[in-house]
Amino acid sequence: MTTKSEKQQAMFLKIESWKNSGQSQQDFCKTENLAYSVFHYWYKKYRGQEAISTSPAFVPVHIKSMQSGSPLAELIFPDGRRVNFYQSIDASFLRTLLS
């Protein structure tokens, strides 16, 4: 019986093969006798895994000039989430937030 991680590894190898094949996704799926929906599901997981492994441990923090109603600082995470700070914060709080 195939375990979940073995199935994932096999599908990720197929995705690597597709990337090196030069074929479109649909043509590759036809050649491999693989349902396009299954390929797309695993490709989405593959990209998510790839993003995690290639994302930097630290991202730049930009401090904007103080204007009324606008944040003092904004953190933008690699997945697009944002955290706005409207007042000064302790470095220890920021360290806790990022860990």
The DSSP element (H or E) to which 83 belongs, if any, is strand 82-85
Q: How many CA atoms lie within 13 A of 38 on its CB side?
A: 13
pLDDT tens for residues 50-95? 766 665 667 777 776 655 677 778 888 788 888 888 888 888 887 7
**DSSP helix/strand/coil, 54:** helix
Q: Rounded to two decimals, what is the model's pTM?
A: 0.48
b vs e for 51-87, b when ≥16 Cβ sit within 10 Å of the residue's Cβ?
eeeeeeeeeeeeeeeeeeeebebebeeeeeeeeebee
Q: What is the pLDDT of residue 49?
A: 78
Q: What is the pLDDT of residue 1?
A: 59
Rounded Cα gap, residues 71 and 63, in angstroms: 9
Q: What is the mean pLDDT of the chain?
A: 81
Q: What number of other Cβ atoms are within 10 A of residue 31's Cβ?
A: 12
DSSP conformation class of 66: P
Q: What is the pLDDT of residue 52?
A: 61
DSSP conformation class of 72: S
Q: What is the mean pLDDT of residues 1-30?
A: 88
**DSSP helix/strand/coil, 19:** helix
